[in-house]
Chains A and B, each alone.
Chain A
């Protein structure tokens, strides 16, 4: 497929998101969330379009995108597994859980498995602190992680 139509299509999808949200007060974060929802990440190509749409400099948009942990420059794996590593989970052995998951998946935090099945990330608190250690798999919350649950998660992301 020639490159030109694809990038035009991306640009028009981005433009539609901007058009829909730009009249909000403080529209940049909602727009970035919208783009990430649409594409799974915030493509580099989106930055000048946003800058243009909101009358900001590209540097300003770049600064905002890179400030927040949530916005991805590259797409994640098919699944995203977040393991809570904050204090309440630490008190219940979240470091052991993380070591085990890393070993089973063969990746470290902030990495994606080679087959693109899963991206592993640390998260600092899911608000499930009375059910530690906890995790979030593609938006689904999981508490009191034990070996059995870890194996279930790993099997699910690999299937």
Chain B
């Protein structure tokens, strides 16, 4: 048997040198006259171990990582093609604690298979959900997704099945499935990972959504900052089309569904569903007022399902194993699994898919292993740039939509950024306003103007100018932005700002030296 070597081509692994490792391995194989097949897989998501390479042995896969290009020679010397011992030896990848503790439903294949091999996808359980769906009535598919309890993983947490039902029930000669892959929130990379590591699961999910709602055309809107994901998705769509997974007869059924990959142009606000639709139509990415709901009048005025990548990529397993199987994971009204992305100043950063319900403290301290810098954790921002900063005192909050909103926070797209005690929360609050000012689409005054005024007022607080009065002004401004903005950009920018002020008041006091100098 020719040995098989897996080297991730995931962006995160590439950013850490996977390409150089691949080149070094190719060179070494040639020089030694050894034959081996190199598979460029996705990442399993343990970024602290990337570039993590794996070899398939008779006893299963053996992982090594993080591998430096300079270590490749010694890997060959220690017989890594047969799983030989080396200082980078990690053993069976699914026994690595960070990976062993996870419940991988949506990400079951990510980092395991060759992302662009449909055979590999099928042999790991792929297409079973779609096979079941083509044999079902649309209303039954929608019912199954509704019963699974799946809620929008993009951040809003709206029940996916209910959205689908609205589109199914709306009569129109043309309907669309739009996948929101404009993953702009800092600390999130789940969408990117699945598109690069298991693109067919997203295609399958979209085809199921199409059959369930009567939509025949799909678009994936991917941000331009993700060139690798764009390339992989384009290739995967072409392969799926050739294999009859997409086309006029999906898997030989009478259902037609095809899709296109579209690329964004660097506007964060296009992650908001209605501005994304405008952008797809070729307009400025300005937010639309709702109603009308996109499910009734969406893309080009037609009924449109617009779902996040992870929501759609979670559908195949629901259609394969059933609603009850999926619903069995999780807590309260948060059912199934959620890919938590642990990022920032953290020792064990990466993607951790698990059932809802872990506490923030377990995620940060136990799974994440604390900070990378080794200093104490000061704050954790949950849910991207529009999410609240949580102090240690709230680390008992369970990862659940309702529990987070009860603490004036949000799960969002489940990204977590860890900050050590060197973080200045006034600076973070100011950045939230600055980011809103840079990215505001300009439609709502509280967002467009308020964000700039917010920066100015926080600068005054920093300079010690009537700190108390100006903090009261920021609070009032946040209230206006929260209730006076159409979308989450202006509406949620107050979360990071107010949580910083509420939980870290000491950072908003004028510096003593500054006061003394005056």
Contact = CB atoms under 8 A, between A and B. Distances in A.
A158 B47 CA distance: 31
B429 to A, nearest CB: 12
A17 interface: no
Contacts of B224: 33, 70
A10 interface: no
Given A25-B300, A29-B279, A129-B341, A87 B265 contact: no
Interface in A52-98: 54, 63-64, 67-71, 86-92
Nearest to A28: B282
Interface in B433-457: 435, 438-439, 441
Interface residues of A, number: 42
B101 interface: no
Q: Which of A25, A32, A70, A130 has the most CB of B within 10 A?
A: A130
A49 interface: no
A5 interface: no
Contacts, number: 152
Given A29-B282, A64-B284, A129-B415, A87 B11 contact: no
B225 A91 contact: no
Contact of B187 (A33, A68, A129, A141): A129
B14 A141 contact: yes
Nearest to A27: B282
Contacts of B431: 87, 90
Contacts of A144: 15-16
A71 B265 CA distance: 7
Contacts of A63: 284
Contacts of A124: 184, 186, 268, 385, 435, 438-439
Contact of B343 (A25, A33, A129, A139): A129
Interface stretch (B119-127, B130-138, B418-426, B477-485): B418-426
A87 B14 CA distance: 21
Nearest to A82: B225
Contacts of A33: 224, 263, 265
Contacts of A90: 428, 431
Contact of B11 (A71, A89, A128): A128
B218 to A, nearest CB: 11
Interface in B158-201: 183-189, 191-192
A25 B439 CA distance: 26
A142 interface: yes
B342 A130 contact: yes
Contact of B417 (A70, A87, A139, A143): A87
Contact of A132 (B227, B343, B420): B343
A26 interface: yes
B494 interface: no
B226 interface: yes
Nearest to A145: B15
Nearest to B268: A124
For chain A, what secondary structure do more than half of its interface residues adopt (helix, strand, loop), or is it mixed?
Answer: loop
A70 B265 contact: yes
A131 B345 contact: no
A88 B417 contact: yes
Interface in B97-145: none
A127 B188 contact: yes
Nearest to B283: A64
Contact of A91 (B50, B300, B344, B439): B344
A90 B384 CA distance: 13
Contacts of B300: 25-26
B285 interface: yes
A142 B18 CA distance: 11
A129 B183 CA distance: 12
A88 B187 contact: yes
B503 to A, nearest CB: 16
A119 interface: no
Contacts of B284: 63-64, 67
A130 B189 contact: yes
Contacts of B14: 140-141
B395 interface: no
A30 B262 contact: yes
A87 B192 contact: no
A62 B265 CA distance: 15
B506 interface: no
B407 to A, nearest CB: 19
A102 to B, nearest CB: 18
Contacts of A132: 343-345
B239 interface: no
B344 A87 contact: yes
28 contacts: A25-B217, A26-B262, A67-B441, A68-B264, A68-B266, A86-B385, A87-B186, A88-B186, A88-B187, A91-B345, A91-B417, A91-B418, A92-B344, A92-B345, A124-B439, A126-B225, A127-B183, A128-B12, A129-B186, A129-B189, A129-B343, A130-B341, A130-B349, A130-B350, A132-B344, A139-B227, A141-B11, A141-B14
Interface of B: 11-12, 14-16, 47-48, 50, 183-189, 191-192, 217, 224-228, 260, 262-268, 279-286, 300, 341-346, 349-351, 372, 381, 384-385, 415, 417-420, 423, 428, 431, 435, 438-439, 441
Given A87-B381, A88-B187, A124-B439, 10 more contacts: A67-B285, A69-B265, A70-B224, A70-B264, A90-B428, A127-B12, A127-B183, A127-B191, A130-B349, A139-B227
A-B interface, 7 closest residue pairs, ranked by CB to CB distance from nearest: A28-B282, A130-B349, A143-B15, A129-B343, A86-B186, A68-B265, A69-B266
